[in-house]
C-alpha cells in the first residue's frame, strides 16, 4: 500500500512494492534555510533516472504533481558517492 503520512516535522512516504514508479520511500523534514532535508530512495526498472555515474553540477528537484506548482530543490556540490550503482550527495 502506498501512503503519505504527516509527521511532527514534515512528511513520510512508503511504498513497499515500489509501484508504479520505483519510488520506495521519501522523508521530508522542514527546517530553516540550509537545514531542511529530503531523502528519497527507489530502485528497479520503473525508476526513471539518468544513467549513473552522474556528471558534476547536479541539481535535484522534488515537484508536487497536484497542480499547486510547489517545488523544492537543491544544488549538490558535496558529492559523497557517485558510482554506477549509487548516487549520494548533500545539497547546499
List the one residue out of 78, 44, 33 whose CA is nearest residue 60. Answer: 78
Judge if pTM exceeds 0.75. no
Mean per-residue pLDDT pooled into runs of 10, the chain (92 residues)? 83 84 88 82 84 86 79 82 88 70
Spatial CB neighbours of 73, under 8 Å, sequence gap ≥ 6: 59, 60, 61, 62
Cβ proximity of 59 and 71 under 8 Å: no
What ranges do the domains of the chain cover? 1-48, 52-92
pLDDT of residue 12: 92
How high is the pLDDT of residue 19? 77
H/E element, 89? strand 87-91
Amino acid at each position: 500500500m502506498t501512503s503519505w503520512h504527516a509527521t511532527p516535522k514534515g512528511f513520510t512516504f512508503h511504498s513497499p512494492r515500489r509501484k508504479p514508479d520505483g519510488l520506495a520511500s521519501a522523508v521530508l523534514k522542514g527546517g530553516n534555510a540550509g537545514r531542511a532535508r529530503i531523502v528519497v530512495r527507489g530502485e528497479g526498472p520503473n525508476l526513471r533516472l539518468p544513467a549513473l555515474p552522474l556528471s558534476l553540477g547536479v541539481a535535484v528537484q522534488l515537484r508536487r504533481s497536484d497542480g499547486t506548482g510547489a517545488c523544492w530543490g537543491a544544488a549538490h556540490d558535496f558529492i559523497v558517492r557517485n558510482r554506477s550503482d549509487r548516487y549520494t550527495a548533500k545539497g547546499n
